[in-house]
Every structure is written in C-alpha cells, then in structure tokens.
Structure 1
Amino acid sequence: MSTENVEKFEAEAELALYREYREVVKVYQYVVETDRRFYLCNGVDVKVRSETGDAYFEVTLTDAWVWDVYRSARFSEQVKVLTFKDVNVEKLKDARHQRPPKAR
C-alpha cells in the first residue's frame, strides 16, 4: 500500500467515525475523557484508589461508546479504565449540539 492510499484510508475512517459519533451522541448522558480515550456513556463511576501509595483513578462506564477509529466494536456494556492521569467527566445537556473530540 502506498502512503497516499494509507492516508486516504485513515481520512475515510476518521470521517466515518465522526458520522457515527453524530448519530450516537444523542442517546448518551455523559462524555468521559481520559489520557488515552474519549467515551460516551449513560453511567459513570469514578473512584480514587491508593492501595500502593500512589493515587490512581478507577473509572467504570456502563452502556458505553468508544471514540477509536481502529476499533471494530465501539459499543460496550461495561468498560473499566485504570489511569494515573486526569479523568474528565461531563454531563451532556443536549447531546445534539456536542462537538466530537479532536483527533489525537
């Protein structure tokens, strides 16, 4: 595959993901952003853990959709994320007007 073909494939995949996001955001209540992923979900629970001395976050999402262009199955009944970095949780008021995340 040429570089041009790879770039075209990636651009088309990103556009398809954006279109999917526009359709599914309407049915979700929360946006959750971690250092590695962007999620939409209808339930979120964030717990701070520090069993080893260092604090980290345990984030449990229910009825989730993951923003990941290379993932074939983006819908998940439950997702658990462990991270030492920041976690941002926002409640959506009117999801029809939310913008998608910026490409990383």
Structure 2
Amino acid sequence: MSHLEDLEEYDAELELTLKREYATVFGLFRYCVLTQEATYLCNKLDMKIEHQPSYPLFHLRMEDVWVWDKNRPSRIIPLAEVHTTQDVTIEELKPEHEVLTTLPPEFTPPPED
C-alpha cells in the first residue's frame, strides 16, 4: 500500500468517526449553525449583524459548542466566536427548556466585549 493510499484511508476513517460522533451528540444541542467554513452545534447563540456598504458582517458567539472538524482532538469546546461575511444558516433544533448542557456546572464563560 502506498503512502497516498494510507493517507486516504486514514482521512476516510477520520471522516467516518466524525459522522458517527455528530449523530451521537446532535440531540444534546439546541442550535445547528452552518457557515461556509464550518458546522457548529451549540446550546447558546448570540448573533449580531453589522451592516457594511457592500455586505453584512455576522458576529456569532456560541457557548457549549461542538465543532465539525476531524482534525481536532476534542470537538466540544466551551466558547466559539465566528466573524464572517458569508451566508449563515441557523436551525433551532429544540426549545430552550429541553436543553441539557455539556459543560461542567461550575463553568462561567468570559464576559462579552
């Protein structure tokens, strides 16, 4: 087997692991956020839109987040901020009262600027 085939097989295994993990954790989250750069699952979402002359700038702040990234050792993170001028799709998966957090009870996110 060549090195290229080894890399392709390794990449395919990472992708399959990621898809399985996504299916497992999907039900834990309130929102699914899709950007051109990545897919996020999160339980708290704040979006601000800054209107520019030629395009809108989206500021997304997510807490209790799962990130679609096969190269991360841990995909669940406490906080993520995204700034993009590309399309953003937000799906509400369930109402707030049905959400359980993946964060430890003592976690406090840093204040917003």
| Consecutive aligned runs of 4 or more in structure 1 exceeding 4 Å deviation | none
Q: TM-score, normalised by structure 2?
A: 0.75
Q: For residue 86 of structure 2, what is the aligned residue in structure 1?
A: 85
Q: Greater CA radius of gyration, 1 or 2?
A: 2
Deviation of 1:24 (Å): 0.8
Q: For residue 24 of structure 1, what is the aligned residue in structure 2?
A: 25
Q: Give distance in 1, aligned partners of 2:5 and 2:75.
A: 27
Deviation of 1:70 (Å): 1.1
Q: For residue 14 of structure 2, what is the aligned residue in structure 1?
A: 13
Query: How high is the sequence identity, in percent, across the aligned residues?
Result: 38
Q: TM-score, normalised by structure 1?
A: 0.81
1:56 aligns with 2:57: yes
State the AA in 2 paired with 1:42. Answer: N
Deviation of 1:55 (Å): 2.7
Deviation of 1:19 (Å): 1.2
Q: 1:57 aligns to what SS in structure 2? A: strand
Q: How many residues are matched?
A: 92
